[in-house]
Amino acid sequence: MARKHAERHYAERIGWLRAAVLGANDGILSTASLVVGVASAHAERGDVLIAGVAGLVAGAMSMAAGEYVSVSSQADTEKADLAREREELETDNAFEHKELAGIYVKRGLDPELAKQVAEQLMAKDALGAHARDELGLNEIHEARPIQAAMASAVTFAVGASSPLVLAIYAPQEYLAASVSVGSLLLLGVLGGLAARAGGAGVAVGAARVMFWGAVAMAVTAGVGALFGTTV
Query: Is residue 5 domain-resident?
Result: no
pLDDT of residue 140: 47
Which among 95, 100, 123 is positioned nearest to 113, based on CA atoms? 100
Asked if 196 and 13 touch (Cβ cutoff 8 Å), the reply is no
Is residue 4 in a domain? no
Burial track 84-99 (b if 16+ CB lie within 10 A, e otherwise): ebeebbeeeeeebbee
The answer to whether residue 3 sits within a structural domain is no
Domain that holds residue 168: 12-230
Residue 160 is predicted with a pLDDT of 93
Question: Mean pLDDT, 10 residues at a time, over the chain (231 residues)?
Answer: 48 55 84 91 90 92 87 80 79 79 81 81 77 68 74 89 92 90 89 73 83 89 76 46
Instruction: Give domain status of residue 166, yes or no.
Output: yes
> Does some domain include residue 29?
yes
- Domain assignment present for 187: yes
Q: What local confidence, expressed as pLDDT, does residue 92 receive? A: 77
Rama region for 42: left / alpha / beta (φ>0; ψ in -120 to 50; rest): left
Whether residue 1 is contained in a domain is answered as: no
Cα–Cα dist 141/71, whole Å: 11
Query: Which of helix, strand or coil describes residue 38?
Result: helix
Is 6 contained in some domain? no
How many domains does one find in the chain?
1
First-to-final CA distance of the chain: 78
Give the whole-angstrom CA distance, residue 53 versus residue 226.
Answer: 23
